[in-house]
């Protein structure tokens, strides 16, 4: 019973994090691309003048998509057409089951491992599920009865086939090193230090593998520079061209969900997962009081700085718009001050005298935070790359996949195998 | 941003052909933009359109208007010079007899399809009576049907700065 | 023949040719002029056509000079050019230059001459100009603007010499001289709009056409007036599928430069509200719009039930090809030869005169005779139709209005009306087929002289209406006839082969003035 309950809670936590990240990512994509291109980006939608630098836009988008007419074009294969977006989204969510997002949570003396399903064959599961994603795309593209969607689907398949192999081979190298297919083992192995100072992260011991895996991950998620399946300039918008309303939204969300999956995988396999470098759990639990006090003090300082900045803007831009938007900086300053005061109040509760249970909890929270932070960074990295690089041409894509990445992955595997055998 | 630009067909160096280094160089450029724009939000060239507006030249050609005589009737004599000159064929005039033989001809109807208009200003140039002008400076027009962009004589005679109709 | 040199070219002309016409030939274009008109007497008042003749101390007007042996004429010298410019400036001294509101703008002699020979800076201010009456309605069809007039006197001469009614005259002297109507009279003769045509400026304008369209937007198609048997050569001026006016086209063999006012009104029937634009079928006692497939089904049904024998009536308003093809179709459908004919004879009769207007208002009556079709009087027609049992085909004619006893004769029989308007016959018909009106298709017409002239398609047909010959040919094909013409030239060859009067005539290349077949010219030679 407990197992079921905790599993459901862990699933709920993961779902909340992922689905909560999607609108933020959409916002980050729009705002980030705008700042890269010296534009302002979304800053219009607001609730009573509160715009949060465009964060309200995803809410407006969702509302719009919910109320849009669900157009089904003539000549579609009804079942597959309706099934495809759900399949894509569902498969995107499946991978999370095996990703450990923390070490363990200690509740009443019992340790709950922070992974939904700690499979023995975790990595194989990841590879299996990742290649399923293309089925939804192929179904959607074929069922739409449109040449553009169909071309997008075909491209997606060929791209998946080309990069799946390199991805798998790159992972093989990591498996040889970590000697386990279980993702928790892979992460735990990365918590040690190499030669006493270097974190034993996948990227350190398998740098080529990391690069190959990341590149393949970009290709598997259909993100720029590998977004040929949707290539607007050639295919209008690719496999989901004929979708509208929430069906389109599901494709859209699946894209970002896949992005989070890929980021989580990269973080888990090559960047230490939930490990905080040079700060193992034992150290955190030993120095919990000091750490917590330091964190709270930093929080108060950041809140004070934010409040000062918001107050400055409030005084500078007084009456700039002549509507609710003028209140925004003042309100944000107030929120910052309140948060700062909350931090101060927490400091007044003597955090340096924290007990062992609290220390364990703090360690878990920090580790989960580290994992989420790494995931968010790689999500941003995906966005960052998208707005920096141009899209590949189709022949370049194939050239890179078969004639560059595949030999490199093989070489990486052979070298790793030799080294592992010798050491 | 300064940078070396390669022409098509130029030989790439080994470093450039490895691609990875260039990717990171590109990432560096884009992140510099992000950081600069984050720190100096106000310096962006974006015009916050409805609140801020670019100052247009007085010669800017906006929505048309019809000039009036002192008695308030249109100055237009329905000579069709504008509709003849119009490359978009958007001016439709029906002439009628004016009761005053000194004026003789007047427009019974004068309609402009604002959606067909290309705002070239040839109608202004062609008008012998200075009856049509495009000096209202109105360029933001919105309506919920095409028919509302098909404006008539009364509208053009009383053309002010509000929206379409 | 006399030989003379114009602008360095030596040319020969018949003695008595006016120097103006000689210069027109030599130059390839007319000299600048306002008052000269080939079909009017020479007035020599505008002084614009002055040319330099060697041996003469002063410039001389070409219109009032006859060619002489050994003459050496210069029409493009600087002296001639300056003279034209100065005369033009004089003409324009009191002209209001109100081109924007002037209907003549675009086909105005003043505008053309100014662009060709003028282009000077005017020294007359608008306030110094002599003001005269504007917008004077001087007749049922004509408006006069005295300010714009250049006193060329063409209109006065027209009324004196052509119509011999003499309504117009020039009154007063000097810069107060003006055109006017004789006291107590109106410009109301049957040819009054010709004064508008010949007015080189905007002084005389047509009340009907006034302000309807700027002339530069119009396209012109040469055609034949369908108002009467004279067959005046006309120009159909139209834009975007609408005909705005008819203008005479010069043909000395038929109409000179003129046409009558009634003929000019005939364009209105093209756009009448009663035009047929879709097939109509009688259902539940009422005519209702139908599609072409339904119409074809109805035609086939009627033909199968009630033909032969049947009767067929065709109007002399249809073209030669159409009448011939219709008669052929009727025969192919089994209508006995005696029951195919034109008529009724009383229809299309008007008042004629000895100038252009014919009392016969049908433009193609001669063609009926050429094709051997009889044309009974109304009562005879009704009796003949009554005698022939079966369906009745009516093409273009309106016997229900024109033939007494028609309605009784066709009672209880299927009436198939092929036509352009919803006339009385169409209202009483069971199947109504929409076809093209005269400006909507090509056709040949035989006028009262026996002259074959071509009428050209100017505008598109309304709605679902079909081209006549194509519909007839389709029906012919549907009726299983062996020879069905596939194109209009083929149809014309076929017609020429069936008409004895047209033996040896190639209808594909008609001369611009029309063609009187030798057989006809040798015979009676037509009415006039």
Across the range B20-32, mean pLDDT stands at 88
Q: Higher model confidence: residue C51 or residue C383?
A: C51
C190-226: pLDDT as tens digits: 999 999 999 999 999 999 999 999 999 999 999 999 9
Query: What is the pLDDT confidence band of residue C233, given thresholds at 50, 70 and 90?
Result: very high
Q: Which strands make up the sheet holding C204-206, listed edge to edge?
A: C136-137, C142-144, C204-206
- Predicted confidence band at B163 (pLDDT cuts at 50, 70, 90)? very low
Identify whether the C-beta of residue B126 lies closer than 8 Å to the C-beta of residue C105. Answer: no
CA A98/CA A197 separation, integer angstroms:
29
Pairwise CA distance, residues A68 & A86, whole Å: 18
Place of tokens 């197992």: A3
For C124-216, give the CATH class. Answer: alpha beta
pLDDT of C528 above 60 = no
On chain C, the residues whose CB falls within 8 A of the CB of B81 are 100
Q: Within an 8 Å CB–CB cutoff, is residue C216 touching chain B?
A: yes
pLDDT score of C338 more than 50 = yes
Q: Do chains C and A touch (3 or more CB pairs under 8 A)?
A: no
Q: Do A35 and B48 touch (CB under 8 A)?
A: no
Residue pair A333/A314 in contact (Cβ under 8 Å)? The answer is yes
- How does pLDDT run across C269-284, given as a tens digit for each residue? 999 999 999 999 999 8
Distance CA A72, CA A78 (A): 9
Domain C2-91 has CATH 3.10.20.740: yes
Q: Which residues pair with B94 in a beta bridge?
A: B109
Q: What is the ipTM of this complex?
A: 0.79
Tokens of C115: 């662009």
Closest-approach residue (CA) in chain C for B85 = C217
Q: What is residue C432's predicted lDDT score, i.e. its pLDDT?
A: 95
Q: Which chains touch C (3 or more CB pairs under 8 A)?
A: B
Q: Do B84 and C214 touch (CB under 8 A)?
A: yes
Q: Is B56 helix (H, G, I), strand (E, B) or coil?
A: coil
**What percent of chain C lies above the pLDDT cut of 90?**
65
pLDDT tens for A270-280 read 888 888 888 77
Mean pLDDT on B120-148: 89
Judge whether C273 and C287 are in contact, CB under 8 Å: no
Question: With 50 as the cut, is the pLDDT of residue B74 above it?
Answer: yes
The 3 state secondary structure assigned to B112-149 is: EECCCCCCCCHHHHHCCCCCEECCCCCCCCCCCCHHHH
Nearest to A388 among B30, B37, B48 (CB): B30
- CA A59 vs CA A40, A69, A99, B48: distances in Å: 19, 18, 28, 22
Cβ of A40 within 8 Å of Cβ of B26? The answer is no
Q: What is the pLDDT of residues C368-399, one digit of tens each?
A: 889 888 888 878 888 888 888 888 999 998 88
Within 8 A of A388 by CB-CB distance, chain B residues are 23, 26-27, 29-30
Candidate from B27, B44, B48 with C-beta closest to A38:
B44
Measured CA angle at C98 (ends C93, C99), to 5 deg: 110
C486 touches chain B (CB under 8 A): no
- For the structural domain made of C280-522, what CATH number should be given? 3.40.50.740
For chain C, say whether B157 makes contact (Cβ under 8 Å): no
Q: Which two tokens stand for residue C199?
A: 């007015």
Q: Which residues of B fall within a CB distance of 8 Å from A211? A: 20
Is the pLDDT assigned to residue A332 strictly greater than 90? no
pLDDT at C148: 92
pLDDT per residue over A197-253, tens digit each?
Answer: 788 887 888 888 888 998 888 888 888 788 877 777 777 777 888 888 888 888 888
Is a pLDDT exceeding 80 seen at residue C526? no
B102 touches chain C (CB under 8 A): yes
pLDDT at residue A359 tops 70: yes
Contacts of C230 (CB under 8 A, 6+ apart): C254, C255, C356, C357, C358, C447, C448
Domain boundaries, chain C: 2-91, 124-216, 280-522
CB contact under 8 A, B23 and A388: yes
Q: Would you call B146 an interface residue with chain C, using a CB distance cutoff of 8 Å? A: no
Q: Could you tell me which of C228, C271, C298, C276 has the C-alpha nearest to residue C418?
A: C276
pLDDT tens for each residue of C114-169: 998 888 888 888 888 888 998 999 999 999 999 999 999 999 999 999 999 999 99
Which domains are assigned to chain B?
1-46 (no CATH), 65-157 (3.30.70.3270)
CA angle A245, A247, A253 (to 5 degrees): 105
Give the one of B27, B31, B33 whose C-beta lies nearest to A38's C-beta.
Answer: B33
What's the confidence (pLDDT) of residue C231?
A: 92
CA angle at A132 for the pair A126 and A133, rounded to the nearest 5°: 100
Chain C residue with CA closest to B128: the answer is C100
Q: A311-329 burial string, b = 16+ CB within 10 Å, else e?
A: bebbeeeeeeeeeebeebb
For chain B, positions 130-159, list CB contacts with chain A under 8 A: none
- ω into residue B158 within 30 of 0, thus cis? no
Note the pTM of the prediction, 2 decimals: 0.71
Are the Cβ atoms of B81 and C101 closer than 8 angstroms? no
Distance CA A102, CA B148 (A): 62
């Amino acid at each position: 019973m407990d197992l079921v309950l905790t599993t459901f809670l862990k699933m709920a936590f993961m779902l909340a994090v992922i689905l909560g990240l999607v609108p933020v990512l959409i916002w980050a994509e729009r705002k980030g691309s705008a700042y890269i291109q010296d534009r302002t980006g979304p800053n219009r939608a607001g609730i009573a003048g509160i715009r949060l630098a465009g964060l309200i836009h995803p809410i407006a988008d969702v509302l719009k998509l919910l109320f849009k007419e669900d157009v089904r074009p003539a000549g579609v294969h009804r079942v597959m057409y309706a099934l495809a977006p759900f399949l894509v989204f569902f498969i995107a969510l499946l991978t999370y089951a095996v990703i450990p997002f923390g070490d363990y949570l200690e509740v009443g003396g019992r340790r709950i491992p922070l992974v939904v399903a700690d499979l023995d064959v975790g990595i194989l599961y990841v590879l299996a599920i990742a290649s399923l994603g293309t089925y939804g795309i192929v179904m959607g593209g074929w069922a739409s009865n449109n040449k553009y969607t169909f071309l997008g689907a075909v491209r997606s398949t060929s791209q998946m086939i080309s990069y799946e192999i390199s991805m798998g081979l790159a992972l093989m190298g990591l498996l040889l090193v970590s000697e386990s297919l279980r993702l928790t083992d892979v992460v735990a192995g990365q918590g040690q230090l190499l030669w006493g100072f270097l974190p034993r992260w996948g990227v350190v011991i398998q740098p080529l593998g990391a690069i190959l895996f990341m590149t393949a991950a970009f290709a598997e998620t259909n993100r720029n520079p590998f977004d040929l399946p949707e290539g607007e300039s050639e295919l209008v918008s690719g496999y989901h061209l004929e979708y509208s309303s929430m069906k389109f939204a599901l494709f859209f969300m699946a894209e970002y969900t896949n992005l989070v999956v890929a980021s989580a995988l990269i973080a888990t396999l090559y960047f230490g997962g939930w490990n905080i470098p040079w700060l193992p759990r034992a150290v955190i639990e030993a120095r919990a009081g000091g750490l917590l006090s330091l964190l709270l003090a930093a929080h108060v300082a950041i809140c004070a700085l934010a409040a000062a900045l918001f107050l400055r803007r409030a005084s500078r831009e007084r009456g700039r718009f002549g509507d609710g938007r003028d209140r925004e900086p003042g309100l944000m300053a107030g929120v910052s001050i309140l948060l700062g005061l909350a931090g101060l109040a927490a400091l007044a509760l003597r955090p340096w005298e924290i007990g062992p249970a609290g220390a364990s909890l703090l360690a878990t929270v920090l580790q989960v935070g580290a994992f989420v932070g790494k995931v968010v960074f790689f999500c941003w990295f995906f966005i960052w790359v998208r707005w920096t690089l141009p899209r590949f041409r189709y022949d370049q894509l194939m050239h890179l996949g078969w004639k560059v990445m595949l030999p490199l992955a093989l070489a990486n595997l052979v070298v790793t195998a030799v080294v592992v055998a010798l050491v | 941003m300064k940078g070396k630009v390669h022409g098509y067909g130029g030989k790439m160096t080994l470093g450039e052909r490895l691609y990875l280094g260039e990717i990171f160089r590109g990432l560096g450029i884009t992140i510099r933009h992000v950081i600069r724009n984050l720190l100096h939000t106000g310096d962006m060239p974006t015009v916050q359109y409805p609140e801020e507006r670019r100052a247009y030249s007085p010669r800017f050609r906006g929505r048309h208007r019809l000039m009036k005589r002192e008695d308030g009737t249109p100055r237009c004599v329905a000579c069709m010079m504008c509709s003849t000159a119009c490359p978009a064929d958007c001016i439709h005039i029906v002439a009628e007899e004016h009761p005053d033989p000194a004026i003789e001809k007047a427009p019974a109807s004068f309609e402009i399809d604002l959606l067909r208009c290309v705002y070239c200003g040839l109608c202004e140039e062609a008008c012998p009576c200075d009856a049509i002008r495009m000096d209202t400076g109105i360029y933001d027009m919105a309506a919920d049907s095409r028919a509302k962009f098909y404006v008539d004589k009364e509208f053009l005679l009383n053309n002010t700065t509000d929206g379409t109709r | 023949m006399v030989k003379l040199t114009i602008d360095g070219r030596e040319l020969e002309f018949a003695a008595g040719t006016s120097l103006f016409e000689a210069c027109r030939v030599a130059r390839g274009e007319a000299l600048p002029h306002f008052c000269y008109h080939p079909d009017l007497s020479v007035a020599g008042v505008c002084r614009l056509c002055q040319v330099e003749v060697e041996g003469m101390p002063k410039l001389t007007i070409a219109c009032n000079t006859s060619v002489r042996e050994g003459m050496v004429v210069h029409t493009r010298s600087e002296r001639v050019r300056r003279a034209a410019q100065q005369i033009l400036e004089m003409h324009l001294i009191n002209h209001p230059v109100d081109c924007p509101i002037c209907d003549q703008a675009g086909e105005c002699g003043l505008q053309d001459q100014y662009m060709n020979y003028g282009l000077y800076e005017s020294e007359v201010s608008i306030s110094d100009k002599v003001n005269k009456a504007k917008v004077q309605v001087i007749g049922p069809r004509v408006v006069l603007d005295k300010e714009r007039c250049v006193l060329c006197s063409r209109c006065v001469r027209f009324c004196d010499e052509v119509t011999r009614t003499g309504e117009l005259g020039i009154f007063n002297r000097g810069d107060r001289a003006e055109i006017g109507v004789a006291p107590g009279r109106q410009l109301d003769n049957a040819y009054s709009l010709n004064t508008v045509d010949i007015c080189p400026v905007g002084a005389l304008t047509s009340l009907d056409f006034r302000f309807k369209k700027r002339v530069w937007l119009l396209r012109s198609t040469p055609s034949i007036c369908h108002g009467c048997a004279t067959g005046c050569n006309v120009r159909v001026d139209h834009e975007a599928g609408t005909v705005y006016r008819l203008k005479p086209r010069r043909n000395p063999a038929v109409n000179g430069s003129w046409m009558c006012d009634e003929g000019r009104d005939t364009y209105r029937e093209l756009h009448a509200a009663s035009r047929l634009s879709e097939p109509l079928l009688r259902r539940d006692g009422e005519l209702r719009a139908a599609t072409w497939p339904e119409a074809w089904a109805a035609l086939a049904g009627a033909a199968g039930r009630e033909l032969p024998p049947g009767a067929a009536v065709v109007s002399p308003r249809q073209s030669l090809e159409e009448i011939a093809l219709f008669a052929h179709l009727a025969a192919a459908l089994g209508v006995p030869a005696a029951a195919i004919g034109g008529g009724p004879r009383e229809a299309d009769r008007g008042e004629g005169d000895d100038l252009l207007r014919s009392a016969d208002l049908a433009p193609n009556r001669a063609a009926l005779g050429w094709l051997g079709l009889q044309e009974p009087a109304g009562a005879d027609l009704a009796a003949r139709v009554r005698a022939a049992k079966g369906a009745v085909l009516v093409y273009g004619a309106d016997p229900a209005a024109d033939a007494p006893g028609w309605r009784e004769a066709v009672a209880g029989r299927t009436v198939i009306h092929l036509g352009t308007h919803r006339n009385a016959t169409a209202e009483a018909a069971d199947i109504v087929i929409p076809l093209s009106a005269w400006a909507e298709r090509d056709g040949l017409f035989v006028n009262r002289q026996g002259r074959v002239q071509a009428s050209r398609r100017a505008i598109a047909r309304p709605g679902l209406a079909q081209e006549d010959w194509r519909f007839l040919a389709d029906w012919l094909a549907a009726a299983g006839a062996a020879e069905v013409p596939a194109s209009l030239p083929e149809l014309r060859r076929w017609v020429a082969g069936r008409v004895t009067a047209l033996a040896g005539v190639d209808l594909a290349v008609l001369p611009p003035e029309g063609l009187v077949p030798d057989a006809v010219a040798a015979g009676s030679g037509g009415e006039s």
